[in-house]
Chain A
Amino acid sequence: MQADPDIILAATGICKSFPGARALDTIDFTLRRGEVHALLGENGAGKSTLIKCLTGAYHRDEGTILLDNSAVDPRNTLDAQNMGIGTVYQEVNLLPNLTIAENIYLNRQPRRFGFTATGVMNRMAADLLSQYGLDLDVTAALGSCSVAVQQVVAIARAVDLSGKVLILDEPTASLDAQEVEMLFRIVRQLKARGLGIVFITHFLEQVYAVSDRITVLRNGRLVGVRDTAALPRKDLVAMMLGRELETEVEAGAKRNDAAGKVRYRFSGYGKGGKIEPFDMEVREGEVIGIAGLLGSGRTETAEVLFGAVRADKGTAEIDGQAVTLNSPRAAIRHGFGFCPEDRKIDGIVGDLSVRENIVLALQARRGWSRPLSRAEQDRLADRYIKALDIRTSDREKPIRLLSGGNQQKAILGRWLATDPNFMILDEPTRGIDVGAHAEIIRLIEELCAKGMSLVVISSELEELVVYSSRVVVLRDRRHVAELSGDEITTSHIVNAIASAESPAS
């Protein structure tokens, strides 16, 4: 391969196999100086395996990696870091109990006479962060900062340590729009400094907002490398999936106008300081979409409905009967189910098996005195693994080893096992790949067709448009609009979120 001074990192013919699976099949990947290169693909496409081969977390079976035109072979992530390849992960890999300065200079603190020169270190850290537009108290514990700031600290540390290649592995997954913009400003700034940046994300808008080139992987193979400007979004999705997204074809096709009778009625329901009182009716077999910006009260609405946060105003009725829903247990008894937003914190129990995770809610409802027999558990688990197409080698695999989309399906299976009549899904498609995305949407439509009532919260408006029979729009912890029928379009929802007056009533 001839030397091109523009190319900072060149991986050629990378192969990696795991027992029973070929994870990477002769992948080529080049990164230029001063470019943001998006690495895209469905879960299982081989993105993270490729990254791990580049950063030394895995050892590649075949292929060469050239960094600055000299062959490198990092043995572990530290090694890669010292060579110049720094990585920042979605879950910030820093120590929350140390100060910001200590995190940046851990194990390379400036010393005087063998002792840490804390003052010098703090000044250096403050200077370093000011280059990123952050003016912080660097002696504060990192854990007291927002995730976005922690992310920037992680980037500052990685760039300071490595300084050639920066790999950002889904850095934006838990940030809101404003924080993403801040992060992108920093990415552009680093790009201008000549760093090569690899950017992994599930958000296609972000790919177009920040990247220069795109490499797409599918099933461990290279699909193609394109300039971002010359690749229409539809073609990109087609490259990633190898087919057109079914949901795009179906979009807006069917809408259940003839929904059944009203089953759940919440009047003047609310909780001081969390969500203003609202009225909501949910019919049998309909999907109510909830739209709004982060912090507009979407999750709070879900928590109040489920009794996780006790409502202090208003009444709830099921089939005309007044009920009290003051705890999740009460809600579950009335046939409610709730898939929370952050499945890693509120949803899955990582070390338990897929089977144990699926039977959890049902067992909780039965109480400890009536345990499910192992045979019943196996039967339930198998049924939902099959019905929801949860991809796992067997039902006893710890759930943390599954991909995000499959974890999400397992949680859905957990609630379906309790045979609920009313399901609340908070961001069911967040952080999962496009293919699993489509399957979750199909599942929502199936459940609805079976007569279940659903409330779905999502920030992806296109998705809400596809399956909602009505969309409730929230702003500033208040229900500001309800759209139904033909009013449900993304532009209407955006208008409702943005405008001060309700555009439709």
Chain B
Amino acid sequence: MKPKYLPLAATIAIFILAYAVCALQYPAMLSTRVVGNLLTDNAFLGIAAVGMTFVILSGGIDLSIGSVIAFTGVFLAVVLEHTSIHPLAAFVLVLAITTVFGMIMGAIIHYLEMPPFIVTLAGMFLARGMAFVLSIDSIPIKHPFYATMKSFYYKLPGGGRITLIGGLMLLVFIAGMVLAHRTRFGTNVYALGGGTQTSRLMGVPVARTTILIYALSGFLAGLSGIVFSLYTSAGYSLAAVGVELDAIAAVVIGGTLLTGGAGFVGGTLVGLLIQGLIQTYITFDGSLSSWWTKILIGLLLFVFILMQKLILYLSRKKAG
């Protein structure tokens, strides 16, 4: 096996192993209901994590995601409460806002040569602040269209449901995989992660690619916010705190190199499912504190970072 597939293979192996352990202890975890819920409960995180995968592959980071999700939720709640705009129109509007927001961050990162960490940290405060400006309360969304959308699902044998948002997440992952691995834009993203200066010399449109990457991340954060508002039927400016960190964890556990240039969108899905699985196990157990999720995720992250170092070391040794 090529070294670049090793982290992905390790992630998949860990997932299968973990699922087997869970299923041995709680056979009910094999039911399609659990699978369906796993997708539904993690839909918003998954969609955001796809955007994060592109950002990290390019060697950047986007800390604004959680705040953009909260902003999107509050924006939708306020718009739907105070105006008669149809939710679909509101969705288009908010996606335009978050995409432009991402584009601006990308442009600042590229043209002002600022570290993505700082720029998106500023974006994080800005988006959270904007959410507070719109409303400081948790606003319920009672629009009938929301109820309609929540009633769409595909019924699996065994009673499980692929809900609209769960299905949407899977579609986003598939689109992400095609974009990353089968388009010039995707290769350019990897190229940037390999080295900006070299990419420029090799003719990669660095400015356009950087801006598009953050625009994509902003768009997907907006989409994630829409999914989150469907999931919770509310908008609250304190929601989704730290989601960007969960997304980073999913990306890294999914085998993407935190320094950029290597990894797979599909790996992020597995990384996400591992996180969801731990959460589900804790729910099944009933007596464990949900903080165990964080502890296990923390340990997994350590293991993966060590493994990436090892692979890097081995491939260097082989090269020379």
Contact = CB atoms under 8 A, between A and B. Distances in A.
Given A107-B184, A115-B178, A95 B318 contact: no
Interface in B171-209: 178, 181-184, 186-188, 190-191, 193-195, 198-199, 201-205
Contacts of B2: 139-141
B319 A106 contact: no
A143 interface: yes
Contact of B187 (A77, A109, A140): A109
A96 B198 CA distance: 10
B240 interface: no
B319 A115 contact: no
B188 A93 contact: no
Contact of B191 (A98, A115, A144, A147): A98
A406 interface: no
B202 A107 contact: yes
A106 B204 contact: yes
Where chain B touches its partner, the secondary structure class is: helix
Contacts of B204: 106-107
Interface in A113-161: 114-116, 118, 139-141, 143-147
Given A97-B262, A140-B2, A141-B4, 14 more contacts: A94-B198, A95-B202, A98-B187, A106-B187, A107-B202, A115-B183, A116-B181, A118-B182, A141-B2, A141-B315, A143-B315, A143-B319, A144-B319, A146-B320
A147 B184 CA distance: 26
A111 interface: yes
B218 interface: no
A141 B319 CA distance: 10
B178 A95 contact: no
Given A98-B191, A114-B183, A115-B182, A144 B203 contact: no
B261 interface: yes
A408 interface: no
Contact of B193 (A77, A97, A103): A97
B198 A95 contact: yes
A144 B316 CA distance: 7
Interface string B273-284: 000000000000
A95 B182 contact: no
B3 interface: yes
Contacts of B315: 141, 143-144
B239 to A, nearest CB: 36
Contact of A96 (B184, B194, B203): B194
A284 B318 CA distance: 40
B319 A107 contact: no
Interface of A: 77-78, 81, 93-98, 102-103, 106-107, 109, 111, 114-116, 118, 139-141, 143-147
B182 A116 contact: yes
A320 B191 CA distance: 57
Nearest to B193: A97
Contacts of B203: 78, 81, 106-107
A93 B262 contact: no
Interface in B123-161: none
B187 A102 contact: yes
13 contacts: A93-B201, A95-B199, A97-B190, A97-B193, A97-B194, A98-B194, A102-B190, A103-B202, A107-B187, A107-B188, A116-B181, A141-B3, A141-B315
A109 B203 CA distance: 13
A95 B320 contact: no
Contacts of B186: 116
Q: Which of A93, A118, A143, A145 gathers the greatest number of chain B CB atoms within 10 Å? A: A143
A95 B199 CA distance: 7
A142 B190 CA distance: 13
A95 B193 CA distance: 9
Contacts of A140: 2
B193 A116 contact: no
Q: Which of A94, A97, A102, A109 gathers the greatest number of chain B CB atoms within 10 Å? A: A97
A167 B262 CA distance: 31
Given A102-B187, A141-B4, A94 B202 contact: yes
Interface string B305-319: 000000000010011
Contact of A116 (B184, B194, B198, B262): B184
Interface of B: 2-4, 178, 181-184, 186-188, 190-191, 193-195, 198-199, 201-205, 261-262, 315, 318-320
Nearest to A117: B182
A139 B186 CA distance: 16
A116 B193 CA distance: 19
Nearest to A121: B187
A158 to B, nearest CB: 10
A173 to B, nearest CB: 15
Contacts of A94: 198, 202
A145 B319 contact: yes
A144 to B, nearest CB: 6
A75 to B, nearest CB: 14
Contacts of A107: 184, 187-188, 202-205
B195 A95 contact: yes
- Ranked nearest first, the 6 interchain pairs of A and B with the lowest CB-CB distance are A95-B194, A97-B261, A97-B194, A115-B182, A116-B182, A107-B203
A114 B186 CA distance: 12
B198 A93 contact: yes
A144 B2 CA distance: 10
Contact of A93 (B184, B187, B190, B202): B202
Nearest to A145: B319
A77 B204 CA distance: 12
B201 A109 contact: no
B320 A116 contact: no
Nearest to B197: A93
B206 to A, nearest CB: 11
Q: Which of A95, A111, A140 gathers the greatest number of chain B CB atoms within 10 Å? A: A95
B195 to A, nearest CB: 6
Nearest to B312: A143
Q: Which of B178, B194, B198, B204 gathers the greatest number of chain A CB atoms within 10 Å? A: B194
Q: Which of A103, A114, A140, A144 gathers the greatest number of chain B CB atoms within 10 Å? A: A144
Contact of A147 (B181, B205, B320): B320
A104 to B, nearest CB: 10
A351 to B, nearest CB: 15
Nearest to B205: A107
Contacts of B193: 97
Nearest to A105: B187
A77 B201 contact: yes
A96 B195 CA distance: 9
B73 to A, nearest CB: 34
Given A93-B201, A95-B198, A146 B187 contact: no
Contacts of A114: 183
A93 B199 CA distance: 9
A98 B3 CA distance: 13
A78 B315 CA distance: 31
Nearest to B191: A95
B198 A109 contact: no
Contacts of B320: 146-147
A116 B186 CA distance: 10
A98 B202 CA distance: 12
A140 B3 CA distance: 9
